[in-house]
Amino acid sequence: MDQTPLARILLDTVRRSGPITFREYMALCLYHPEHGYYMCGPGRTGMRGDYFTSSDLHPIFARLMARQAAEMWEVLGRPTPFSWVDMGAGRGLFAQDFLEWAANTEFGAALNYVAIEPSGEARSRLMNRVFSQDRKIPFRVLANLEELSPITGCFFSNELLDSFPVSVVTRARGRLKEAYVTSEGETLREKLGPLSGTAVAAYVARHAHGLEEGHRTEVSLMVADWIGSVAERLVRGFALTIDYGDLAEQLYTADRPRGTLMAYRGHAASEDFFSAPGEQDLTAHVNFSALINAGEDAGLNLTGFTTQERFLSALGEPSQFADLYGPGQSEVERLDARLKLKRLIFPEGMGTVFKVLVLHKGITMPKLIGLPNRHPRS
């Protein structure tokens, strides 16, 4: 284990107060105010960082989302303002590309863009990037969702929920056990103990009741609180979530004995969760069944669920992916753009691993271009 500043804090904590749940450990690794992975340090994302997102790959991702947002605005009756709430806005590449597409459109004239980013350092970089543009669209940056008043529009997240801290549960000697983090000399290690609460047990019973002996799975209790906060602030409109994961029946299966929890550093994946705390990403696949159920409990309705491949293809095909190219691009640049689009939508790339969930509120069942098949689990 690398003796990072956070590693020393964690060692002191468990020596002084005893073991902590893996969920608490993951929360500190990612969101400790001074040493958390997402709270400090430049260059976490992007081609030179530890991982990259669809927005890092090519502007067409944001341009197609803007097309979908414009249709949502039409479906809602062209409200002014229409708020697009970008949760986990990161470096602002998505915001920059989205705003450039929307500028000089009727939709853009009604648009109010709100970026939510918990890291102060990231907020500064985000504002510098977006405010360097010739902005015609109102743009705000908030630290958290609690600062936002109720809106009409769309809450959007891309690769946000996979970073929510999770509990880790296994079945040992026929009984459910939870992973805790303790110390052994100068290292952190895992120790099994009783489930930390009835909510963890209820989650496993509902979504992973077939957990086999020795197999592990993740429990994300934050999802319900998060979608509840979104529903509370959404007067009319949509919640659009893109992330890697699946429905519970596809996610919690015997062919995933180790679950889906992974650590990422320098684009390399591992299961060494205790190496370099605070300096590597920890992430788990999203249980979209839990998100759908929690959304419905909070008053949201299911619009549709599909793959990124189907969603982006449906948005791009009417214009023959005209958003793919910039003005004056060479043929080499156009070829590079096509290869990046292929990575976004083809099954061997991000096309089927990433799923798209749309929920709605305050309107009857809408039909969206990105969801041509209205069956909710298509």
Give the pLDDT confidence of 80-98 residue by residue, as tens digits.
Answer: 999 999 998 888 899 999 9
Nearest to 303 by CA among 354, 231, 361: 361
Could you give the residue ranges of the DSSP H alpha helices within 208-281?
Answer: 222-233, 248-251
In angstroms, rounded to a whole number, what is the distance separating the alpha carbons of residues 370 and 298?
24
Instruction: Say what the pLDDT of residue 250 is.
Output: 93
DSSP element (H, E) containing 70: helix 60-75
DSSP element (H, E) containing 171: strand 167-172
In angstroms, rounded to a whole number, what is the distance separating the alpha carbons of residues 22 and 273?
10
Residue 111: beta bridge partners? Answer: 82
Residue 55: phi and psi, rounded to 5, are -65, -30
DSSP element (H, E) containing 244: strand 234-246
* Residue type at position 290: A
Instruction: Say what the pLDDT of residue 223 is.
Output: 96
| Interstrand relation of 111-116 and 167-172 (parallel, antiparallel or unpaired) | unpaired
Instruction: Say what the pLDDT of residue 377 is.
Output: 46
Q: Which residues of the chain have pLDDT under 50?
A: 46-47, 51, 377-378
Residue 175: phi and psi, rounded to 5, are -120, 150
Instruction: Say what the pLDDT of residue 45 is.
Output: 56
Instruction: Say what the pLDDT of residue 44 is.
Output: 55
At a CB cut-off of 8 Å and minimum separation 6, what does 300 contact?
227, 230, 231, 234, 239, 359, 360, 361
Nearest to 358 by CA among 299, 301, 309: 301
CATH number of 1-378, picked from 3.40.50.300, 3.40.50.720, 3.40.50.12710, 2.30.110.10: 3.40.50.12710
At a CB cut-off of 8 Å and minimum separation 6, what does 77 contact?
none
pTM: 0.92
In angstroms, rounded to a whole number, what is the distance separating the alpha carbons of residues 161 and 158?
8
